[in-house]
Chain A
Amino acid sequence: MSNTASKSGNKARTIDIVYAGLRKRKAAERRFQLYGKLAIGLGLLFLSLLFGSIVANGYTAFVQTYMQIEVYIDPDRIDPEGKREVKELSRADYGGLVKATLRDMFPEVQSRREKRQLYRLVSTGASYQIREQVLQNPDLIGQKISLWVPADDEIDMLMKGHIDRKSAEEDRRVKDNQIAWVDRLLSEGRIEKRFNTIFFTAGDSRDPELAGIWGAASGSFFTLIVTLLLSFPIGVAAAVYLEEFAPRNKFTDLIEVNINNLAAVPSIVFGLLGLAVFINFFGMPRSAPIVGGLVLTLMTLPTIIIASRAALKSVPPSIREAALGIGASPMQTVIYHVLPLAMPGMLTGTIIGMAQALGESAPLLMIGMVAFIVDIPQGAFDPSTVLPVQIYLWADSPERAFVERTSAAIMVLLGFLITMNALAVMLRKRFERRW
Chain B
Amino acid sequence: MQLSILVIVLLALSSMAFYMGKKRAFQVAQGKIRNLHSLPAYYGLYTAIWCGIPALIIFGVWIAFEPALITHLVDLRAAADHYLDLVSTSHAALTIVVLSLAIGAGAFTLTRIRAQQRARNTVESILTAILIFCSSVAILTTLGIVLSVLFESIRFFQEIPISSFLFGLEWSPQTAIREDQVGSSGAFGAVPLFAGTMLISFIAMLVAVPIGLLSAIYLSEYSGPKFRAIAKPLLEILAGIPTVVYGFFAALIVAPAIRDAGGFIGLDVASESALAAGLVMGIMIIPFVSSLSDDVINAVPQSMRDGAYGLGATQAETIRKVIFPAALPGIVGGVLLAVSRAIGETMIVVMAAGLSANLTANPLEAVTTVTVQIVTLLTGDQEFDSAKTLAAFALGLMLFVTTLVLNVIALHVVRKYREQYE
Please report A residues at the B interface, Cβ cutoff 8 Å.
25-26, 28-29, 31-33, 35-40, 42-44, 46-47, 49-50, 53-54, 57, 233-235, 237-238, 240-242, 245-246, 254-255, 258-262, 264-270, 272-273, 275-277, 280-284, 298, 301-302, 305, 329, 331, 355, 358-362, 365-366, 368, 370, 388-389, 391-392, 395-396, 403, 406-407, 410, 413-414, 417, 421
Contacts and interface: CB of A to CB of B under 8 A. Distances in A.
Contacts, number: 257
Interface stretch (B14-22, B108-116, B136-144): B136-144
A19 to B, nearest CB: 14
A426 B375 CA distance: 38
Of A43, A44, A388, A421, chain B has the most CB atoms within 10 Å of the CB of A43
Interface string B101-143: 0000000000000000000100010011011101111110110
Interface stretch (B74-82, B264-272, B302-310, B398-406): B398-406
B252 A331 contact: no
B138 A267 contact: no
Given A46-B283, A283-B68, A269 B149 contact: yes
Nearest to B249: A50
B137 A301 contact: yes
B316 A395 contact: no
B64 interface: yes
A268 B344 contact: yes
Contacts of B215: 36, 39-40, 43
Contacts of A260: 407, 411
Given A238-B135, A273-B141, A265 B403 contact: yes
B240 A39 contact: no
B245 A276 contact: no
B149 to A, nearest CB: 6
Interface stretch (B173-181, B198-206, B217-225): B217-225
B316 A33 contact: yes
B95 to A, nearest CB: 19
Given A36-B217, A50-B241, A272-B374, 14 more contacts: A25-B317, A33-B222, A43-B286, A44-B234, A234-B134, A258-B139, A261-B404, A265-B404, A268-B344, A273-B145, A362-B350, A365-B375, A395-B248, A417-B242
Contacts of B127: 331
Contact of B347 (A46, A261, A361, A368): A361
Given A29-B315, A277-B148, A406-B248, A362 B235 contact: no
Interface in B241-276: 241-249, 251-253
Contacts of B245: 50, 54, 359, 391, 410, 413-414
Interface in B271-292: 283, 286-287, 290
26 contacts: A25-B314, A29-B316, A35-B214, A36-B218, A40-B214, A43-B215, A233-B134, A235-B134, A258-B141, A264-B407, A265-B403, A265-B404, A266-B371, A273-B141, A276-B152, A281-B148, A282-B65, A362-B347, A365-B378, A366-B375, A391-B248, A395-B244, A407-B248, A410-B248, A414-B241, A417-B242
B314 A267 contact: no
Interface residues of B, number: 90
Of A233, A391, A407, chain B has the most CB atoms within 10 Å of the CB of A391
Nearest to A269: B400
B237 A265 contact: no
A399 to B, nearest CB: 13
B218 A33 contact: yes
B347 A241 contact: no
A29 B71 CA distance: 73
Given A268-B346, A272-B374, A282 B67 contact: yes
A396 B247 CA distance: 11
B231 interface: yes
A225 B111 CA distance: 39
B138 A259 contact: yes
Interface in B317-359: 317, 319-320, 337, 340-341, 343-347, 350-351
Contacts of B210: 39
A237 B131 contact: yes
Q: Helix, strand, loop or mixed for chain A's interface? A: helix
A331 B124 contact: yes
Nearest to A57: B252
A365 B131 contact: no
A63 to B, nearest CB: 21
Contacts of A36: 214-215, 217-219, 222
B29 interface: no
Of all A-B residue pairs in the complex, the 10 with the closest CB atoms, nearest first, are A266-B344, A36-B218, A359-B242, A283-B67, A276-B148, A39-B214, A237-B134, A362-B346, A32-B316, A241-B131
B46 interface: no
Contacts of A57: 252
Contacts of A234: 134, 137
B357 to A, nearest CB: 18
A362 B218 contact: no
Of B134, B247, B337, B343, chain A has the most CB atoms within 10 Å of the CB of B134
Contact of A39 (B144, B218, B248): B218
B378 A366 contact: yes
